[in-house]
Structure 1
Amino acid sequence: MGEFTSVSTLEGDAQFDAYVAKPEGEPTAAIIVIQEIFGVNEGIRRKCDAWAKAGYVTYAPDLFWRIEPHIELDADIPEEMDRALGLIPKFNQDQGIRDLEATIKAARQAAGGGKVGLVGYCLGGRIAFMAACRTDGDAFVGYYGVGIDGLLNEQHAIGKPTMLHIPTADHFVTPDVQKAMHEGLADNPHVTLHDYEGLDHGFAAEMGKRRVEDAAQLADRRTADFFAEHLA
């Protein structure tokens, strides 16, 4: 349904690719899907296609383009998982946020000036939280975001609706980190947290062994309802 297109950096000195899926009719809002550590792979593209079918123009920026353009990895292949984990220290997250800001600008224009929602997974879940603190997006969703406890000193800057999906048996986000997230965000009226008992990281992956169907559908329904309310 979609295709890759170029997005200009905020500085206008370079371009990077984003997978863009468009609805059949005119979109009234846009959604940005933020990749996992596996790049803009088939699973991320399928998520974009699904949002486009729901009526949103959807972008998935290649945030790893400065490391290597068009990295696509499979979480179910151990060697590719190892490579994906090795990309994390190479990725400049602050620069990634600026690329995300450039994508928000492009997506908002594609939506005729409408609202822009952001949804991210794994690393993208963390980036979605950072975006809630630092960008002018209109609604933010993070699935199993990693290291959010280290970003809680920024949460006072969140002024738009934000939702986090937290699997309680996430081996990348330990119980003490989850506790810090719940306690640190408890008084923030803009943030909603949903726990998924006994589930691990990646339960809402679009494809592959990590997916837990019932829980993925529940989380995705919550996300769809959230965007329907806040991007209208």
Structure 2
Amino acid sequence: MSVTTRWIEIDAGGGERYDGYLALPRAGKGPGVIIVQEIFGVNAHIRSVAEQFALAGYVALAPDLFWREERRVELGYEGADRDKALALLKRIDADRSAADFGAAAATLRALPETSGKIAAVGFCFGGQVAYLMAAHGSVDAAVAYYGGGIQNKLDKADQVRVPMLFHYAEHDSSIPQTAVAQVKARLAGHAGVQFFDYPGVAHGFNCSDRAAYDQHASALAHGRTLSFLSSVL
């Protein structure tokens, strides 16, 4: 195999620990990337995303977002699984999740395999968590794919002092263009912040397991993300 994977424990503080899926590059070492899941758990898709970044030379860690409610959740994208994901989302707090993932970032930094800086790459609700991690200063850079709810956390914008990349879908039923405009207006003057819009695609365009998947947009966004990370890490 060109990458190796394993589950590790993350120290959340206060004697609490939770799990994260770790993917190591072939070289065995590299900069770190926290993969912040969608609301569907560290499922097969998110594990493949971690492995994709490991193939690109990063030490990738996908922590368990819902561990305080239910550990190792793995859900699909339709029907009862989607309903459960939305129910779990209502039970968590984005700022607390960002603090938990800050602990994951500290764990990743401390691993002997991690060399250099680390970034957060988040999807959907995970995009909001990645943004908050940037605001909390727990990572050296962040990427948000169609990050939901960021427009409601713009009071944290002045705390973002690290490079950030935002990917937005034109036809996102979860994130109206008015919300995108709010985020752009609030962060436009920040050095190192970039925005990319993807015309004709919907929320979730990066996930090949979802009906919204768009190969062209996914490949384009991934290439831009790798270019961004290589320049800032």
**TM tier relative to shorter chain:** over 0.9
Contact 1:6–1:15 (8 Å) recurs in 2: yes
What SS does the aligned partner of 1:142 have? strand
- Quote the Cα distance in structure 2 between the aligned partners of 1:31 and 1:228: 12
Distance in structure 2 (CA, Å) of the matches to 1:83 and 1:112: 34
Q: Which residue of 1 aligns with 2:13?
A: 10
Does residue 143 of structure 1 match 2:145?
yes
Residues 171-210 of structure 1: matches in 2 within 5 Å? 171-210=173-212
Question: RMSD value over aligned CA atoms?
Answer: 1.3
Are the counterparts in 2 of residues 20 and 59 from structure 1 also a CA contact under 8 Å? yes
Check whether the contact 2:50–2:61 (CA below 8 A) recurs between aligned residues. yes
Letter in 1 for 2:99: R
Q: Which structure shows the bigger proportion of residues in strand conformation?
A: 2
CA distance in 1, matches of 2:199, 2:60: 30
1:116 corresponding residue in structure 2: 118
CA contact (8 A) 2:94 2:128 kept: no
Correspondence for 1:170 among 169, 172, 185: 172
Distance across 1 between alignment mates of 2:188 and 2:96: 29
- More deviation in 179-188 or 51-60? 179-188
Q: What is the TM-score normalised by the length of structure 2?
A: 0.94
How far 1:136 moved relative to its partner?
2.6
Tell me what 1:105 maps to.
106
Q: Where does residue 83 of structure 1 map in the other structure?
A: 84
Deviation (angstroms), 1:198: 2.2
Given that 1:44 and 1:206 are in contact with CA atoms closer than 8 Å, whether structure 2 keeps it comes out as no
Q: How does the TM-score come out when normalised to structure 1?
A: 0.94
Aligned residues: 229
The Cα shift of 1:178 comes to 1.4
Structure 1 CA distance, aligned partners of 2:196 and 2:168?
6
| Local SS of the residue matching 2:126 | helix
Check 1:215–1:112 CA distance in 2 against 1; reply closer, same or farther (3 A cut). closer
* CA deviation profile, 1:18-64 (whole Å, cap 9, x unmatched): 00011122323111100100010000000111111111111000010
DSSP 3-state at the match of 2:202: coil
Shift of 1:206: 4.1
User: What amino acid sits opposite 2:178 in the alignment?
Assistant: D
Query: What is the distance in 2 between the residues matched to 1:201 and 1:112?
Result: 32
Residue segments in structure 2 that go unaligned for 5+ positions in a row = none
Residues 204, 210 of structure 2: 8 Å contact kept:
no
Aligned with residue 217 of structure 2, among 212, 215, 218: 215
Moved over 3 A (4+): none
Instruction: Report the 3-state secondary structure (helix = DSSP H, G, I; strand = E; otherwise coil) of the residue aligned with 1:67.
Output: coil
Give the superposition deviation at 1:225.
Answer: 0.6
Amino acid at match of 1:214: H
CA contact (8 A) 1:33 1:119 kept: yes
